[in-house]
Amino acid sequence: MDVLEKQADRLYDDKKYQEALDIYLSLAKKYPKTEKYSIYCGNCFDAIGDTSEAIRYYKKASKLNPVSTVSLLALANLYYNNEDYENAVKFAHMIVKKFPDNASAKLILGNVAYCQRQYEKAFEYYNEVYAQNKKSYIALINMANTCYDLARYVRAVDYATSALKLNPASVDAYIILGNSYLELNKTEKAELNLLKALDFKSDNPWIYNSLSRLYQKSEQWEDALNFGWKSVLFAGDAQEAQHINFGYLLYECVDEKGPDVAVSYAKKWQEAYPKNKLVQYMAAAVLEDKKTKQADTEYVKKIFDAFAEDFDETLIGLEYQVPQLIAEAVVKYFKKDFWKKTKYLDLGCGTGLCGQMLKPVLGYHTATGVDLSAKMLEKARAKGVYDRLENKEIIEFVTQDTGQYNLVTAGDVLTYFGDLKKLFEGVAKVLNLGGMFVFSISENMFNDADYSITPSGRFVHKLDYIMALLKKNGYGKVAQDRKALRNEGDKVVYGYIIVAEKSMIIEK
Ligand SMILES: C[S@@+](CC[C@H](N)C(=O)[O-])C[C@H]1O[C@@H](n2cnc3c(N)ncnc32)[C@H](O)[C@@H]1O
């Protein structure tokens, strides 16, 4: 073996990738037909973050030795790690075509399907690997995890137990067992497994999060908050998901037990993360802070991006009525001579439920949707009921937009605003004379304030405040209907569907 090659291999094993790369590059130049040098150049480029060079060298290696799977597998892995699933699948399939039993390629195909939430397909790939090799821990743990996502908890327990036999120190197996037993309401077994997972990995925020869910489920609120707090501490600022979970936990605690315990955690949380806007907003909601006038935009983006995938399905479960009620109000009050040429604007359109309801009713001329969450907009786009979708903050949009509309809706959106002055002014600006603004508000039944933030992070409003503000902004005829809007936990949220017609122009 070339002395230089030995030196490069040693540097590579010591993770000194840049130094190793310099030598491998010179070797690859000297011996252009040697597959190994191209592969190691690719590995080093990948390790130092130069993906396009890594790809170039792997492709070169694959041409040098077309029957080898090494470079193809490296390519599939690299694309998978960079979330380029199309190319990851392309190269994994090239391997499977040549070598139908190649487990590594099948695992990549399974992982891609899993990341795309195609859990049945993912399970099939993992199962094929397992069928070929009953000692494959990786296949078993992936099967267990996928069964958990498919809500097949008993099978998840079986596969995780088998995985544990092959790898008794598997933290993942203990976590899957704990979470699955939790779903099966076997609290003692769940606790045992999660505590075991904690023995192996005491800094994993997800384990604390699962234990927190477990104690919440058994109404041990002190423990639930204590473990929730630890999940936040171990997550730091980086893992926002843990902060969102903790915020919901505090809200649910206030809802079930009253504010006492949750409030002290909310204060502590606010102090510990002074620069984290999401934390500041969620804590302010739990503390029902009167100074807060609007939901933080980062908070809105994050929670709705996370919620987008399951939004429509979840809202059916919450008996969400608003889009239907808005459509009924439009049919009842919207001027018939506008119907054929409706220029429609849907503020906070989300996944497009209002647009979807109104399209068959109005067959509108043009429809524009505006929302802060890109993921919600993706869902709206797929429904094909809007001509234009804008990923913008509502007030910013109505202030800058030069369009004129004759119908504006906002379904369950004003609940993310306390003070509505700017929003009503902005909508009046983009609305034609005689045009209508149809929206819902949640009713403030808790205190005398015009608007009030609630621990769930949503605002509630007084009807008198809304009416006065509409009048001030040139809205004349107004109709309002008190309705049940949706459920929140085991309570019904009441509010109003308001129809306001712009009847004069207010000069500013
Ligand atoms: C509860 S969803 C309602 C979605 C839709 N209107 C419906 O009825 O199904 C609220 C939507 O308002 C959006 N939103 C809240 N505040 C916003 C703001 N300031 N600017 C833009 N979009 C906002 C959220 O991203 C979310 O998609």
pLDDT digits (tens, 9 = 90+) for 467-499: 999 999 989 878 899 999 999 878 899 999 999
254 lines ligand 1 (CB under 6 A): no
Q: Which of 445, 446, 451, 441 is nearest to 486 (CA)?
A: 441
How sure is the predictor about 184, in pLDDT bands with cuts at 50, 70 and 90?
A: very high
In what helix (H) or strand (E) does residue 346 lie, and over which residues does it extend?
strand 343-347
In the prediction, which pLDDT does 236 show? 83
Q: What is the Cα–Cα distance from 261 to 232, expressed in whole angstroms?
A: 17
CA of 237 relative to ligand 1 center, distance in Å: 25
183 lines ligand 1 (CB under 6 A): no
* Residue among 302, 322, 371 to mutate when testing ligand 1 (max atoms within 8 A of CB): 371
232 lines ligand 1 (CB under 6 A): no
376 lines ligand 1 (CB under 6 A): yes
3-state secondary structure 447-465: CCCCEEECCCCCEEECHHH
CA of 410 relative to ligand 1 center, distance in Å: 8
Q: What is the Cα–Cα distance from 348 to 27, expressed in whole angstroms?
A: 59
Give the bridge partners for 492, in sequence order. Answer: 487
In the prediction, which pLDDT does 336 show? 73
Task: Calculate mean pLDDT across residues 405-414.
Answer: 96
233: its two tokens: 């501490």
Question: What are the two backbone dihedrals, phi and then psi, of residue 444, each rounded to the nearest 5 degrees?
Answer: -80, 100
CA of 300 relative to ligand 1 center, distance in Å: 8
CA of 141 relative to ligand 1 center, distance in Å: 38
In the prediction, which pLDDT does 1 show? 60
* Residue among 297, 300, 385 to mutate when testing ligand 1 (max atoms within 8 A of CB): 300
Which residue CA neighbors atom 27 of ligand 1 most closely? 350
Concatenating the DSSP letter of every residue in 8-31 gives HHHHHHTT-HHHHHHHHHHHHHH-
Q: What is the pLDDT of residues 439-469, one digit of tens each?
A: 999 999 999 999 999 999 999 999 999 999 9
pLDDT of 81 strictly over 70:
yes
Residue located via tokens 């969400």: 320
CA of 268 relative to ligand 1 center, distance in Å: 29
Q: Which of 199, 166, 160 is nearest to 180 (CA)?
A: 160
Task: Calculate mean pLDDT across residues 42-47.
Answer: 96
In the prediction, which pLDDT does 504 show? 67
413 lines ligand 1 (CB under 6 A): yes
CA of 403 relative to ligand 1 center, distance in Å: 20
Task: Calculate mean pLDDT across residues 138-154.
Answer: 98
Give the bridge partners for 343, in sequence order. Answer: 366
List the domains of the chain with CATH numbers.
Answer: 305-502 (3.40.50.150)
470 lines ligand 1 (CB under 6 A): no
pLDDT of 78 strictly over 80:
yes
2: its two tokens: 């070339």
In the prediction, which pLDDT does 345 show? 97
CA of 446 relative to ligand 1 center, distance in Å: 23
296 lines ligand 1 (CB under 6 A): no
Share of the chain above pLDDT 70, in %: 98
CA of 348 relative to ligand 1 center, distance in Å: 4
pLDDT of 323 strictly over 80:
yes
pLDDT of 239 strictly over 80:
yes
Q: What is the pLDDT of residues 195-228, one digit of tens each?
A: 999 999 999 999 999 999 999 999 999 999 999 9
411 lines ligand 1 (CB under 6 A): yes
CA of 285 relative to ligand 1 center, distance in Å: 18
322 lines ligand 1 (CB under 6 A): yes
CA of 288 relative to ligand 1 center, distance in Å: 21
416 lines ligand 1 (CB under 6 A): yes
Q: What is the Cα–Cα distance from 5 to 40, expressed in whole angstroms?
A: 11
CA of 250 relative to ligand 1 center, distance in Å: 23
Average pLDDT, the chain: 94
348 lines ligand 1 (CB under 6 A): yes
Please identify, by atom number, the ligand 1 atom nearest to the C-alpha of residue 392. 21
Residue 355, number of CB atoms within 10 A of its CB = 25
439 lines ligand 1 (CB under 6 A): no
Q: Which of 237, 181, 245 is nearest to 208 (CA)?
A: 245
Residue located via tokens 């130069």: 50
Q: What is the pLDDT of residues 240-274, one digit of tens each?
A: 899 999 999 999 999 998 888 899 999 999 999 99
Task: Calculate mean pLDDT across residues 287-299.
Answer: 94
CA of 346 relative to ligand 1 center, distance in Å: 10
Please identify, by atom number, the ligand 1 atom nearest to the C-alpha of residue 396. 20
Are the CB atoms for 137 and 169 separated by under 8 Å?
A: no
373 lines ligand 1 (CB under 6 A): yes
Please identify, by atom number, the ligand 1 atom nearest to the C-alpha of residue 346. 6
How sure is the predictor about 36, in pLDDT bands with cuts at 50, 70 and 90?
A: very high
Question: Which residues does 12 contact at the CB level (< 8 Å), separation at least 6?
Answer: 20, 24, 40, 43, 44
